[in-house]
């Protein structure tokens, strides 16, 4: 299938986390493909909360397909139970296709992936590498704007992926005739960068100094706890950083090219566009 493949069937697509890094782009890409988008979030017009199952039925009813992005992370404690329960309810309500956002190399995500596989839905799992947009949105952005990113990435290499590429892949595999039902698709950016490299490229594009300071996962967890992150979530994140940032993901995946027929966006393009938009101004 190519990027220019014609969408032969318009669907109503539920997008969870529609205000988030991937959900917002999935909603935009689905609308551009001619689908009716049901953009769901905790505070949106379509209310959806992973921690409040009473919000699920109204969000699901009448949808043909659903994009599931569990917060705070696909491998977090309780994610498998919640995603499995939602997927089974989706099937009962006639939702045909489910695409789950997962993470490359994240052993903690296996219970959540298994829950979707066993739900009875026509499923696809999209496993993504580290988002480029983690450096332009969310809690790391403040640090970047202050000129210093303190993070437990060491000097490990990671093929940062633009979330717009994730969205394009998700919308493509959602189609019932895509050929990706019952499959796992791994996606990444086109080249390997260390976090130090990534920060340096952003600094050069933004025309200012931004330092990268590597710390241990335990040190970083202590800082998160100081910001009020709950203890259970902090311990999960420490474990996640200690495992996923150990070099296991220092390789490229060909999912973007396989599904879309084109190369993924390069990190330099991401850095240039966001710098021109003033994202990293002090």
- The reply to whether 240 falls in a domain is no
Q: What's the confidence (pLDDT) of residue 55?
A: 98
Q: Would you say 106 and 246 are in contact if contact means Cβ atoms under 8 Å apart?
A: no
Cα 198 vs. chain centroid, distance in angstroms? 18
Angstrom CA distances, 192 to 161, 174, 189, 220, 247, stand at 10, 28, 8, 23, 11
Tokens linked to 58? 């109204």
State the residue range of the domain holding 119: 12-129+163-188+251-265
Q: Would you say 116 and 181 are in contact if contact means Cβ atoms under 8 Å apart?
A: no
Q: What's the confidence (pLDDT) of residue 3?
A: 39
Helices (H) and strands (E) in the chain — how many of each? 11, 11
CATH classification of the domain holding 61: 3.40.50.720
Number of domains the chain is built from? 1
Collect all residues with Cβ–Cβ distance below 8 Å to 155 and sequence separation of at least 6. 194, 195, 196, 214
- The reply to whether 258 falls in a domain is yes
Closest by Cα among 158, 141, 160 to 149: 141
| Cα three-residue angle 54-57-61, rounded to 5 degrees | 165
- The reply to whether 40 falls in a domain is yes
- The reply to whether 36 falls in a domain is yes
pLDDT digits (tens, 9 = 90+) for 171-214: 999 999 999 999 999 999 999 999 999 999 999 999 999 999 99
What is the spatial distance between Cα 47 and Cα 14, in angstroms, rounded to a whole number? 11
Q: How would you classify the pairing of strands 97-103 and 65-68? A: parallel
- The reply to whether 205 falls in a domain is no
Q: What's the confidence (pLDDT) of residue 9?
A: 77
Closest by Cα among 202, 165, 199 to 22: 165
Q: 243, exposed or middle or buried, with CB in 10 Å at 0-12, 13-18, 19+?
A: middle
Q: What's the confidence (pLDDT) of residue 227?
A: 81
Q: What's the confidence (pLDDT) of residue 178?
A: 96
- The reply to whether 255 falls in a domain is yes
What is the spatial distance between Cα 149 and Cα 161, in angstroms, rounded to a whole number? 19
What is the spatial distance between Cα 211 and Cα 150, in angstroms, rounded to a whole number? 8
Low-confidence ranges of the chain (pLDDT < 70): 1-8
Q: What's the confidence (pLDDT) of residue 226?
A: 86
pTM of the model: 0.95
What is the spatial distance between Cα 6 and Cα 271, in angstroms, rounded to a whole number? 31
DSSP three-state, residue 126: strand
pLDDT digits (tens, 9 = 90+) for 236-260: 999 999 999 999 999 999 999 999 9
- The reply to whether 215 falls in a domain is no
Closest by Cα among 169, 166, 174 to 35: 174
- The reply to whether 140 falls in a domain is no
Q: What's the confidence (pLDDT) of residue 5?
A: 39
| Cα three-residue angle 262-265-266, rounded to 5 degrees | 130
Classify the C-alpha dihedral 67-72-73-79 as positive or negative. negative
Q: What's the confidence (pLDDT) of residue 2?
A: 39
């Amino acid at each position: 299938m190519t990027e220019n493949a014609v969408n032969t069937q318009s669907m109503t697509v539920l997008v969870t986390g529609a205000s988030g890094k991937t959900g917002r782009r999935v909603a935009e890409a689905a609308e551009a493909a001619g689908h009716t988008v049901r953009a769901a979030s905790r505070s949106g017009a379509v209310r959806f909360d992973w921690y409040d199952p009473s919000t699920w039925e109204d969000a699901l009813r009448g949808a043909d397909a659903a994009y599931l992005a569990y917060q705070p992370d696909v491998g977090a404690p309780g994610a498998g139970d919640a995603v499995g329960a939602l997927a089974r309810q989706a099937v009962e309500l006639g939702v045909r296709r489910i695409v789950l956002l997962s993470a490359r190399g994240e052993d903690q995500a296996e219970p959540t992936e298994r829950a979707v596989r066993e739900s009875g839905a026509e499923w696809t799992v999209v496993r993504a590498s580290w988002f480029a947009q983690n450096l332009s949105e969310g809690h790391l952005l403040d640090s970047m704007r202050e000129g210093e990113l303190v993070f437990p990435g060491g000097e490990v290499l990671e093929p940062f992926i633009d979330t717009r590429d994730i969205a394009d892949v998700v919308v493509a595999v959602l189609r019932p005739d895509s050929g990706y039902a019952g499959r796992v698709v791994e996606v990444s950016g086109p080249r390997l960068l260390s976090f130090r490299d990534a920060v340096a490229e952003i600094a050069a594009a933004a025309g200012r100094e931004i330092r990268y300071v590597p710390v241990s996962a335990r040190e970083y967890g202590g800082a998160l706890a100081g910001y009020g992150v709950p203890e259970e979530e902090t311990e999960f994140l420490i474990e996640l950083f200690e495992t996923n940032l150990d070099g296991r993901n220092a390789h490229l995946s060909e999912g973007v090219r396989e599904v879309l027929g084109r190369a993924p966006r390069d990190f330099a393009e991401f850095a240039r566009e966001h710098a021109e938009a003033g994202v990293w101004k002090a």
